[in-house]
Amino acid sequence: MSDILSRIEDNVLIITLNRADKLNSFVRPMAFALQEALDEANYNPEIRAVYLTGEGRAFCAGQDLAEAISKEGPELENIVKEHYNPIIEKLRNLKKPVVCGVNGVAAGAGANIALACDVVFALNKASFIQAFSKIGLIPDSGGTFTLPRLIGFQRASALMMLGDKISADEAQQIGMIYKSVEGLDEALNTAKKLAKMPTKGLWLTKKALNESMTNTLTDQLNLEEKLQTEAGKSFDYNEGVNAFLDKRKPIFKGE
């Protein structure tokens, strides 16, 4: 059985982390398989959005610690450099929206991979743990960049040092995720809805949001001007405006 399952449904690439007996913790082939699936999502024009979730009772327990400690396993520096850094870069630079459906506990790199997605839903029984501090590591997978920006420096600092478990409801309340839900149908349906939207414009929005993390206001205004010009030349902008004026439903292509 493959560590990553993927299939296309209604123009959405559904990626399922599939090592349920080890709470979908990552081993090296699984990290590479996820990277390949994200590359496929970027380049296959049939795919207009991605939905990432996990099999079984967990979303992902981060790095497989048995592999990390094994003499035959990859070196720690290579785990971060070759597994998690590329996953986070690929998620943030993927030109299609990525919806995450956190189906259970998300710990360590698993939590930060979820938080790198564009729209994060979590089952209300799910939870998030910055588990790294409990084993003497530092938060990786972009956690030290993403979490303080989502929930503020002080909360991020406390959660990362204490390794406390945060429920999905609390994660929603503090702005760590978009929504805590009773069932993940809403999450998958959101990915399907996004896949029918002007996905080129959504990509340019994501690009602007990515850069807003480090830009000055002036830099950001200049970037908005540039990206809006690009969006204004798209097929989807033309289609959206004409459909509005004709009082019909637009058919977007993501171009």
Give me the residues that bind ligand T3D (CB under 6 A), please.
22-23, 25, 61-66, 68, 76, 79-80, 105, 107-109, 129, 131-132, 135, 137, 140
Shortest spacing between CB 99 and ligand T3D, in angstroms = 22
Q: Which is nearer to ligand T3D, 20 or 174 (CB)?
A: 20
DSSP secondary structure, 36-76, as one string:
HHHHHHHH-TT--EEEEEESTTEEE-SB-HHHHH-TTS--H
> Which residue has the closest beta carbon to ligand T3D?
62
Segments in 94-198 forming alpha helices (H): 109-115, 143-151, 153-162, 168-173, 185-195
| Separation between Cα atoms, residue 249 and residue 255, nearest integer Å | 17
The CB-of-133 to ligand T3D minimum distance in angstroms stands at: 9
Toward ligand T3D, which CB reaches closer, 55 or 64? 64
Question: Which amino acid is located at 16 in the chain?
Answer: T
Give, as one character, the DSSP assignment of residue 130: -
Nearer to ligand T3D, 25 or 234 (CB): 25
**CA gap 131, 140 in Å, rounded:** 11
Beta carbon of residue 138, minimum distance to ligand T3D (angstroms, whole number): 9
Looking at the Cβ atoms of 100 and 195, the one nearer to ligand T3D is 100
Least distance from C-beta 142 to ligand T3D, angstroms?
Answer: 12
